[in-house]
Amino acid sequence: MLTLNSPAKINLFLRVLRKREDGYHELASLFQTIDLCDKIHIELSTKDQFFCSDPSLPTDQTNLVIKALHLFRRKTGIEQPCNISLEKNIPQQAGLGGGSSNAATILWALNKLSGQPATDQQLSEWSSEIGSDIPFFLSTGTAYCTGRGENVRNLESLPHTELWIAKPPFGLSTPHVYRHLNPAALPQRHPEQILDSFFNLSPIYFNDLEEAAFALSPEMLALKQLFLAEGFPHVLMCGSGSCFFLIGNQNPPRLPKITFYRTRFINRSVFSWF
Ligand code: C5P
C-alpha cells in the first residue's frame, strides 16, 4: 500500500499569449506546489475499486483518477487491478489543480507499484493527453510551463514562502473564464523577464485571467480589493479561480463565507513524491 500526498498548485504569474487554432490558449506561467494536499491510498488488488471521500465527485470515467489509470494501462500494457482511495481536501473549481494533481499522483504511484517501467519524463509526456496541467505535477514543484501548459521546465526551488488560500463559496469554470478573455487586450509583458524577477527576489505577481474572471464575477474583484485593503502586499487569483492566494505576515479578516487555508510552498526531490 502506498499513501501519497497530492498537492495543490498556484500560479505565481500567468501570462496568456494568444488563442490557438485548436481552441486552447498559449500560456507562460510559473507554477508552484503548495502543502494543501489531497491524500491517495493505492494498492495492487484482485479487482479495481475506487473510493472518494467527497460524494459530490463522480467516480466514473470522467474522474481524472480513472483517466490516469486507463492511460497508464494503455501506455504500458500493465493491467494489474488496484484499489484506490482518495481523501479530498483541495477545493474544486478553485484554480488549484486538484484533479490534475490526483492524476499525476496516480501515474507516479502506478509506475512505482509496477517496478518503474516508465521514466518521470515519459509519465509527463503521456499525461498531457488527459489534461494540460498534469505534466507540471510530475515536476519537482517549481516549474515554468508553456504551450497549453504541458511544456514543463523544472526549476530550482524558490524560498519557501508562507501564504493563505482564500476560497469563496462559489467556483469558476475554467473553459468559461477562458471564453471571456481577449488576449490581444492584455498588457504585453515579457514572460522570461517576469520569470527572472522571481529568482532575483523582486517577484512580479500577476494573472492574465483575473480580468475575465472579474467580469464574470464582480464578487471576485470585490474580494481582491478587500484583501488588498487589509494590507496583504500580494493578492492573486489562483489559475482560473475562484481561490486567491494572499502573501503577507498578517492573519486574514474574519469573513463568514470564505474558507482560509494556511499553507506554504513545497517541493520534492527527484527520488521521492511530495
Ligand atoms: O487541458 P484541460 O482539460 O485541463 O483544459 C480545460 C479547459 O481549459 C480547456 O477545454 C480550455 O477551455 C481551457 N484551456 C485553454 N488553454 C489552456 C489550458 C486550458 O483554453 N492552455
From the CB of 174, is ligand 1 less than 6 Å away? yes
What count of residues does the chain have? 274
pLDDT of 244: 98
- Specify the pLDDT at position 173: 95
CB atoms within 10 A of CB 262: 12
Tell me, what's the pLDDT at 62?
96
| pLDDT at 42 (0 to 100) | 98
> Looking at ligand 1, which residue's alpha carbon is closest to its atom 8?
175
Count helices and strands (H / E) in the chain. 8, 11
Q: Is 9 a catalytic residue?
A: yes
Q: What is the mean pLDDT of each run of 10 residues along the chain (274 residues)?
A: 98 98 98 98 97 97 98 97 98 97 98 97 98 98 98 96 97 96 96 97 96 97 98 98 96 96 98 96
Which pLDDT does position 217 carry in this prediction? 97
Q: How far is CA 223 from CA 61, 207, 209, 237, 261, in A?
A: 36, 15, 15, 10, 16
CA 59 to chain centre: 20
Among 38, 67, 120, 133, the one annotated catalytic: 133
Output Rg (C-alpha) for the chain, integer angstroms: 18
The answer to pTM > 0.85 is yes
pLDDT of residue 225: 98
Determine the pLDDT at residue 99: 98
Residue 147 alpha carbon, nearest atom of ligand 1:
21
